[in-house]
Amino acid sequence: MILRYLVIEGIAISSVLGSLAPGSAISSGLADDVLKIQGGKILSGQVTISGAKNSALALMAGTLLCSETCQLQNVPSLVDIRLMTKILTALGVRVTTNGDVVQFDPSHLTSTEAPYELVSKMRGSFFILGPLLARMGEARVPMPGGCSIGSRPVDLHVRGLQSLGADVTIEHGVVHARAKNGKRLVGASVYLDSPSVGATENIMMAATLADGETIIENAAQEPEIVDLAGFCNAMGAKIQGAGTHRIVIQGVEKLHATDYRVIPDRVEAATFILAGAITRSTILVNQINLSHIAPILAKLKEIGIGYEIESPTSLRVMRSASYRGTDIETLPHPGFPTDVQSPFMSLLALADGNSVVTETLFENRFMHVAELTRMGADIKVKGNVAMIRGVASLSGAPVIATDLRASAALVIAGLAADGETIVSGLHHMDRGYDRLEAKMQGLGANLIRTTIAQSNA
């Protein structure tokens, strides 16, 4: 089906023809933002990475553990952050934002029940279950929503909280957790069947105010876990072992106010590094933690993309005339992160030779492949394996971002493609990338966010 659209930039109007999937934000006939990218431009200059979305959301939930005002610095400006702010506000937290500094006053919580219409939009909102239960002795949180990248059940969260002495029921899509004695949880040994980041964070927060010692075995090791433990410890918690498979928490009576800085976003850092690599550019990426992106840097070195470490927090991507394919398997940290799989695939689509990408964590994380193929990539998918044959070039096309990380993959591909790429579904991108287009423009990328509306022609 061929549809015609009007692209509105100020007073300039041009027509765009393209085949778009039914049910998308654009094909619904409603006005929507798109990103128009003129590819083939060499990037230059430097970019500063924002605070980590996945860490900031957990830390925001963690403020519920304290009855005093806490402050977070380096909080990114994102749709998901604003949504979490609304959820906390609905619970009675007073939230004050000044740039990337946000203050939270949870001293007078007015509710233990989170509103469905907010929680259902974002999976990260489920982080409030553990701290709300620990602080108030009860919590009602609807089942979470978010990107449709695969099954992410909450059973590990539930079983962990049950181990700490909570009665948990799930009725009509709402998780109701209550401490058995009505007030405090009790420390226990918790073994996670898989190293779930969300379950580790929820159980760890709940255990900070439990009576006695809690041990989490087979815990997730991601940097966001370490950051959350650092934040809780800054409030007076006693957590040891974060970043390893065994976390030990000694429960305390209460927590106190603190001022804490969110770690840099390792996925955003990887995205800009890959943008420099795919456009054969030299750019400086600032405010990063090199240890957090070690798996990505190892793969870049393996395929022949050069980089220089400018400082402990800065990396310069060097222009590489060519690079070769490789094999990637996504794994929990410290393995190759699943959140970087799709943007890295855009890079491999233009590599010399063949590559194989195996996705082990989410079954629906190859939805970007059809869009890259629309741009001329040669990718075949069988089950959880994508086989990539590098091509000489990509060509611009209308494409749809199907999830958060797919949006970055398509933007990166568009930067390197011949001609114009129009990326729709930007609501996914806005959930996890702080001013992505403005930062890309600062590097010299030729792209602009516009409004697109369907015509009746």
Q: What digits encode the pLDDT tens for the residues 196-240?
A: 999 999 999 999 999 999 999 999 999 999 999 999 999 999 999
- Looking at residue 141, which CATH number applies to its domain? 3.65.10.10
From 66, 70, 147, 232, the catalytic residue: 147
DSSP 3-state of 15: strand
- In order of 74, 77, 118, 308, the CA distances from 87 in angstroms are 20, 16, 6, 42
Element (DSSP H or E) covering residue 226: helix 223-234
Domain identity same for 405 and 421: yes
CB atoms within 10 A of CB 46: 14
Distance (Å, whole) CA 253 – CA 109: 18
Domain identity same for 180 and 275: no
- The number of angstroms, rounded, from the C-alpha of 374 to the middle of its chain's C-alpha atoms is 25
Domain identity same for 186 and 197: yes
Specify the length of the chain in residues.
457
Number of domains in the chain: 2
Distance (Å, whole) CA 315 – CA 266: 13
Beta-carbon contacts of residue 405 (< 8 Å; ≥ 6 apart): 267, 339, 340, 341, 342, 343, 365, 368, 432
Confidence (pLDDT) at 451: 87
Distance (Å, whole) CA 309 – CA 307: 7
Among residues 261, 281, 316, the one where a domain terminates is: 261
- The mean pLDDT of 410-429, rounded to a whole number, is 96
Distance (Å, whole) CA 348 – CA 358: 13
Q: The domain containing residue 378 runs over which residues?
A: 3-50+265-454
Confidence (pLDDT) at 361: 85
Q: Is 147 a known active-site residue?
A: yes
Domain identity same for 122 and 227: yes
Q: For the chain, report the end-to-end CA distance as a whole number of angstroms.
A: 13
Among residues 196, 227, 261, the one where a domain terminates is: 261
Confidence (pLDDT) at 11: 29
Domain identity same for 32 and 154: no
Among residues 226, 261, 296, the one where a domain terminates is: 261
More confident position, 361 or 177: 177
Domain identity same for 203 and 274: no
Domain identity same for 416 and 275: yes
CB atoms within 10 A of CB 198: 22
Domain identity same for 296 and 220: no
| Neighbour-count burial for 379-399, b at 16+ CB within 10 Å, e otherwise | bebeebebebebeeebebbbb
Cβ 65 vs Cβ 207: under 8 Å: no
Range of lowest pLDDT (150-159, 180-189, 268-277, 386-395) = 150-159
Which burial class, exposed, middle or buried, applies to 16 when counting CB atoms under 10 A from its CB (0-12, 13-18, 19+)?
Answer: middle
Mean pLDDT of the chain: 89
Domain identity same for 11 and 46: yes
pTM of the shown model: 0.89
Distance (Å, whole) CA 270 – CA 401: 18
